[in-house]
Amino acid sequence: MQIETYFDFLAEDDIRIKGTRVGIESVLYEYIHRAQTPEAIAERFYTLTLEQVYATILYYLQNREKIGAYLTDYLEYCRTAREEYEKNPPPGVVRLRQLMAEQLYNSLPIADCKKKPKKYTTNK
């Protein structure tokens, strides 16, 4: 059996584990960056079998350069998306952050209340 049969290659930057919506980047992030065991990964992603987790790791080990670049691109995409989100968060998030800052401000002892809570705004 070819290892590639475990995956759906939807696009150059979108490889999913066959029969699931889980991308290989999710499994490999847990394995590489969080040093999780295949058993722990299978437990975390309950729609995956242990065999699928091992197949994903094996695919990575057989194609380190190609999949390493795939993961680097994915992590860079996540970083830029997170930065964009923080620059212009949705209005609901802005309001929630403001409420949390006010709640924290109101829970401080009087002596610690020298400055008002930070006002969160969007950068439009």
Q: What CATH number is attached to the domain comprising 22? A: 1.10.10.10
Mark whether 82 and 93 lie in a shared domain.
no
Mark whether 123 and 104 lie in a shared domain.
yes
Per-run averaged pLDDT (10 residues), the chain, 124 residues: 93 95 97 96 97 98 96 95 92 92 80 59 60
Mark whether 74 and 96 lie in a shared domain.
no
pLDDT value of position 41: 98
pLDDT value of position 124: 54
Q: Which amino acid is at 88?
A: N
The total of structural domains in the chain comes to 2
Mark whether 46 and 80 lie in a shared domain.
yes
pLDDT value of position 113: 56
Mark whether 72 and 107 lie in a shared domain.
no
Q: Which two tokens stand for residue 76?
A: 């860079």
Nearest to 56 by CA among 93, 36, 35, 31: 31
**CA-to-CA separations, 18 to 6, 36, 46, 47, 94, in angstroms, rounded:** 5, 21, 14, 11, 38
Which residues form the domain of 57? 3-87
Mark whether 98 and 69 lie in a shared domain.
no
pLDDT value of position 115: 61
Mark whether 81 and 34 lie in a shared domain.
yes
Which helix (H) or strand (E) segment holds residue 61: the answer is: helix 50-62
Helices (H) and strands (E) in the chain, counts: 5, 2
Mark whether 74 and 13 lie in a shared domain.
yes
